Structure 1
Amino acid sequence: MVTITGLRGIPTISKVCDLPQILIKTIKKGHFQIADGDIICVASKICSLAEGDVIDLNKVVPTPLAQKIQQRIPKKDERLIQVIIDQTGDPNGSKLEISGNHIGAWLPNGLFLTSGGVDKDKNNTAITLPKNCDLIAKRISKAFYQELGIETSVIITDSDGRADKKGANQVAVGLYGLNGLRTNKKTGTSETLCDLLAAAAGLVMGQRGINIPLACIHGLEYEKATDFSIANTVN
């Protein structure tokens, strides 16, 4: 039987810190149960905060392109639009897709995310995705083994909306310790296992305000792999 449990009590991350150690301390304090082979899903936002991926919007100067897009989507802060453009690595905006009031962006690692994974936060700041979520997943997995003596796979998750639906889902933006793809032996078709797991973890982790940025998935049989990256899941 597959079970999903959320870790409560993780302190608010407000500055650059050693996230794996904070998670480990919280796990020990709460006697949170994790076993060998479990899959740990961690929200990208706390990873970003721990890595210092926070931008002061007061210091962002919008380009003419950002200003032009803002005219199409008045509710979007033109400075935030500029941050989204910057995340794509293409100042010309060719990696943006605009539909209605939504901006989608292709990132350098091949992922396509709503707003390029950028979130507007309090105090006039923007939070961007970490540069290498696979590496963060690896660090967490290695720290859990060193400190807790358990071998886990780790998925970094991010909320992602769709222009045709309300609300948001969770998708994988980084991983370590598992093959992110799974092939159906009957049909020969592949499915993105890491996204299925991220979405399942979202049932427990929820969206903003829930404060459960870590979920443990227990009891699933899957292919372990230490050489698989999120880039292997994109076209």
Structure 2
Amino acid sequence: MLEKILEHYQPFQPVVLFDPENDSLLAMDFTDRNTTLTAEILDDTQKFTDYVNQLLTDHECRFGIGGYAEHRTIYSRSEHFSTADEPRRLHLGIDIWGAPGTPVFAPMEGTVHSFRFNDIHGDYGATIILRHQLEGHVFHTLYGHLSLRDLEGLQENMRIVAGQQIAHFGDIPENGHWPPHLHFQIITDMEGNKGDYPGVCRYSEREKYLANCPDPNIILQMIP
């Protein structure tokens, strides 16, 4: 139901400033099919960052993108995604990889649902969650790996207008220790969470989480 409403509501304001006429996007694969992404690279955040930046440079792309419903090997780099019986590996959002400080905008009007500095290696780092309502349906958009300064002055229920700049891509010390990027996710039911919601789930729980977190490209409109 939410997907149909969002498709009907098009177009949204851009989440990042991307001109399809002049800018190129690089589809990035972080599954085990990508054999160039070695354990040595993943275990060193600076080497991982250099790897991403070199790919963007080599392909003359401003942004790298991808990841929704992708079963990723990269989460082995952090104990944050480990569990007793099954690790979390299935990605629930879309990542936009780019330069630190890249501005982030609200795609539609809403309010601040919550925010938090999730300061654990591999986590979101600085995080903002917005609440939206369309045709009586409430849903949320999550923005992870932001700059810590973007949380200053925020208040829950603060009104946000469509197209308003709300954040920036954070750098390594403040973004959960990842190469700079934005994790963008749609969440129907926050399930009582504030300032955080799983962006990665166990593969065995994929049906539940993918149903609650539809494809973010419905809003982003960046992947053909």
Per the normalisation by structure 1, the TM-score is 0.28
Larger RCO (alpha carbons 8 Å, 6+ apart): 1
Higher-Rg member (1/2): 1
Q: Answer 1 or 2: which has greater helix percent.
A: 1
Per the normalisation by structure 2, the TM-score is 0.29
